[in-house]
Structure 1
């Protein structure tokens, strides 16, 4: 829980792995009600969901590499962070709502209320973020 508290002491937080100098601002995904918010936001802009296991070495490596993908051009992208260990019920609902099989780590891109892209493990860092701007 320590990493989660460090990362999410406020509503939108700076990256913890780059000392706050990242262009990525995580939005904590901590309630099922936020899935409706995500669906509504996705009607006008792409919304990202990053599912992360804080106890997994691969997930920790991928999240650090993912944060490095963000440049100034990407700073307005909405990126939700889901701590799988604390919010497994939300992960399960994401799978049902967006019809994706659970993976960890996993990145989903939601547009017009559906998942238009998902990647897991090392494939996450191969994602071309600019195609979603």
Structure 2
């Protein structure tokens, strides 16, 4: 039985975070949106909206992590799990006036959205 468990086991979010070279901040509450807007007045903030069931989303987040880790840039990176926080994802869209896509990266400066991209275009986004 453990053989099948090892072959078919799913990776938990905690395991994914341990494997990452990026210091993701989980976005899990509406209160954090106000914090993000405030924080973005002194530094650029990124929000990555990720679907844990989407193959494209998994590929993009891995490639983004590699690119970001080698870029030398330091900024807050928020991670929004769309499957567990769909209502929060909707609020992010309303707050920053952007249509939902997955995966999606939002760039926040001075409390407003200054850039966004979805799918593989995330890897070309200037932040």
Whether the TM-score (by the shorter chain) exceeds 0.5 is yes
Does residue 1:4 correspond to 2:22, yes or no? no
Matched residue count: 117
Distance 1:41 1:4, change over 3 A: same
Distance 1:2 1:26, change over 3 A: same
Give the ranges of 4+ consecutive aligned residues of structure 1 lying more than 6 Å apart after TM superposition.
Answer: none
Helix, strand or coil for the counterpart of 2:107? strand
- From 33, 42, 45, the equivalent of 1:44 is 42
Deviations 1:77-126 (A, max 9, x none): 11000000000011000000000000000000000111100000000111
Higher Rg:
2
Helix, strand or coil for the counterpart of 1:117? strand
Deviations 1:10-66 (A, max 9, x none): xxx55x2xxx5x2x2111111111111100000110000000000000000000000
TM-score (norm 2): 0.85
CA distance in 1, matches of 2:52, 2:79: 11
Correspondence for 2:63:
65
Task: Give the root-mean-square deviation of aligned CA atoms.
Answer: 1.6
Does residue 1:105 correspond to 2:114, yes or no? no
The gaps in structure 2 that reach 5 residues or longer are: 1-9
TM-score (norm 1): 0.81
The gaps in structure 1 that reach 5 residues or longer are: 8-12
